[in-house]
Structure 1
Amino acid sequence: MASSGKSSFHLALRAHALEALNSRTEAEQKREKAWLNRQRQERLPTGLSRREAAAIRRELRVELATRRAAGEFAGTRDLVLVQAVREELRARKLSRKWPKPPEGELDAPGRRWGTPPSLPLGEGGYDARLSLKLPHSLAETVRRAAYWTSVEPVRLLQEWDDRWGRAGEIVARDSELSGAPVDLALAEAAMRPSAPQAALEAREKLRAQVLTTGDLLRAAVDRAGREPQQTEVPAGG
């Protein structure tokens, strides 16, 4: 995919976070529309020829695109999220050029190795879905930042697993995904010594350090919903 393209994401999240994001988007759309209406009133007086009016409308479209690219306007939900994702990366000090991960690592399905399952959809879990598109370069930064930030805790979680094994439900799930007999995997797991409380606590600390793409995007959605909505309409060019 070309670096100028878009990457699609499908995100499970809390309904209240989605509602706050939509409210922020509506406010941004109103600011943008107010600016456009004012520009049309000032720059499209009556009596213009059709050619003159078309040229001014084209200029306005270009200027709007320029202001959007500069972050001055965010008249779509994706644009609001682009700004929020960039802010989230900067806040975490992850806004940098990351090396490419090993081939195939970013294509692995599901959550990162060693992390607990994501919250389920429905009561008690995620109760909304969001589809979004990010510029390809920004999407790559998100994916790579999540991968490299998590490399060391994932390695330590793998060592933990080698020593203490995994919980029965995780063993069963992994066996189903790999096609291995579930009964044999559970029997093997049962033969390992039980992890002491200190080891279990160490595992939870490591899990908390693993960052997924979904974690980053949900944090950006929350950030977009928390940020104060702007009301001032920028002056004309």
Structure 2
Amino acid sequence: MCGRLSQYSGIHDFVAALSMPNALVNHIGDLPLERYNAAPTTQLALFHQEEGFLHADMVRWGWRPHWAKDRAAPINARVEKVAHGPFFRAIWPHRAIVAINNWFEWVDEGGSKKQPYLIRRQDRAPILCAAIGQYPSVGRQPTEHDGFVIITADSAGGMVDIHDRRPVALSPELAREWLDPATPKERAEEIALHQGEPTDVFEWFKVDRAIGNVRNQGAALIAPVNPTPG
């Protein structure tokens, strides 16, 4: 999975997609997020559940443990290793959902520059990505060490032609189970490993190369295009 995504809907659109009856503790606000071209280190809306409430906070995309100061903070974690490797051990119990509208990948099609593709659900519903992180909790304020990573798995079907990795996207029912602190760690690992949304839920198409500049924003970036070669 390449490090670029869109999160432009309002927080209540994402809450509606989760279909959670829990009261929302909203630290984000009600306006559309309008992040059409979000890159690593961007503050993104992250959901977690605590004391019976659904919490929405802005958290940095990317995290590393305090002892890994010699490397950049990863933005993704491979589902095959995340539950048992030492790097993410501290945050594996802290499950979250990052709801996105789409993500982007770049494909070498023989031109002078790689061609960006947008991947989204065919029904245009938010994509509920499994994540883990260090984030504000009841009684604790945000800190500079907060952050999250998106869990990724192997792509399948035609999506392999776009990229060999993709986010672990969950159905609303499984997203709610993933968020529930009462869900055992073993069950959470099973969900992430084997129960992500299938490839045929998604569609993908070419978009303008302007998405490559992180300063560019706006709805025009997510529109389909037929670019000229090169």
Task: Give the TM-score range, shorter chain.
Answer: under 0.3
The structure showing larger relative contact order (alpha-carbon pairs under 8 Å, at least 6 residues apart) is 1
The higher radius of gyration belongs to 1
**Relative to total residues, which structure has the larger strand share, 1 or 2?**
2
